[in-house]
A and B are shown apart, each in its own frame.
Chain A
């Protein structure tokens, strides 16, 4: 734990961190970009998740939907991560201390692992159920876990902002 605190304190001393914590316009602009990027990630991933769960787009082929949605989702995720890291450097110790912030990361990890399992295992057999309105249970589960975790990420993210001071 000591090492972590030292590392975080070190981050505070870097040029990036000093800039982020002192420049109000930079912090505001980058945070704004972060929020828009997250909204895009969640909005787009919901489209795929709803298809897997079976609540929407049931006539679309899963592969078609993924092909349309995922590239943009990944691009938005990259922007969200980059901007998020920058925002983090403004107050690394305080953010790390924040319960909601840590929960947000725990849930993102869950979403990530869920996505990996889906991609590497369940999705392999997609040609069998690509056009089915009702997809296999594993895929439906993946969609539900994904949706639930990302909704929670948004909620914890909002809570983080609220509880920082």
Chain B
């Protein structure tokens, strides 16, 4: 792993990210906004499942918000990779970062499973309150996982923002 970080740190992209002062804050800002896309999409779908909004069917709202969720995830991945290449040691060798990656793997798996389940059972869940209850737990778990990823992700930065 250490050898990997050294190799990454030597890449021209890495040097560029580190030397141009506004690249990292810009990437982090986009990263934050992409998290917003993911979280709000999950929330909007969850609201349907939990019955807090009845203006659309579950099928309609998952159709509408899932693309935003996956686009947000793509944006997170791209910005995340560039940030990682820019500061490989701070990321790859950091325990909190590794924890974040682990939780993220769980969150992505849960979201994928949720997406597939929605495709197969959306209509059923729209009609059957009992089935929707189970889906509701699934939905809550997905949201909690993504919030956990966000919280752990922040834990890394916060250390830099403490009052001195």
- Are A61 and B162 neighbours in the complex by a CB distance under 8 Å? no
Cβ of B66 within 8 Å of any chain A Cβ, yes or no, is: no
Main secondary structure of the interface of A (DSSP, over half): helix
Q: Chain A's nearest CB lies how many Å from the CB of B107?
A: 15
Cβ of B150 within 8 Å of any chain A Cβ, yes or no, is: yes
Please tell me which stretch of A20-28, A104-112, A115-123 contacts chain B, meaning at least 4 of its Cβ atoms lie within 8 angstroms of it: A20-28
A43 to B71, CA, bound (A): 14
Name the B residues within 8 Å of A47 (CB-CB): 40, 44
Residue from B29, B39, B44, B164 in contact with A68 in the complex, judged by beta carbons closer than 8 Å: B44
Please tell me which stretch of B112-120, B125-133, B153-161 contacts chain A, meaning at least 4 of its Cβ atoms lie within 8 angstroms of it: B153-161
Interface size for B (C-beta < 8 A) is 32
Q: Chain A's nearest CB lies how many Å from the CB of B106?
A: 18
Classify chain A's interface size.
Answer: 35 or more
Chain B's closest residue to A152 (CB) is B29
| Contact residues, A16-57 vs B (CB, 8 A) | 20-21, 24, 27-28, 31-32, 35-36, 39-40, 42-44, 46-47, 56-57
| Contact residues, B133-164 vs A (CB, 8 A) | 147, 150-151, 154-155, 157-164
Please tell me which stretch of A2-10, A77-85, A138-146, A156-164 contacts chain B, meaning at least 4 of its Cβ atoms lie within 8 angstroms of it: A156-164
Cβ of A155 within 8 Å of any chain B Cβ, yes or no, is: yes
Q: Which residues of B contact A (CB under 8 A)?
A: 25, 28-29, 32-33, 35-37, 39-40, 43-44, 47, 52-53, 55-56, 64, 68, 147, 150-151, 154-155, 157-164
Q: Which residues of A contact B (CB under 8 A)?
A: 20-21, 24, 27-28, 31-32, 35-36, 39-40, 42-44, 46-47, 56-57, 60-61, 64-65, 67-69, 72, 90-91, 151, 154-155, 158-159, 161-162, 164-165
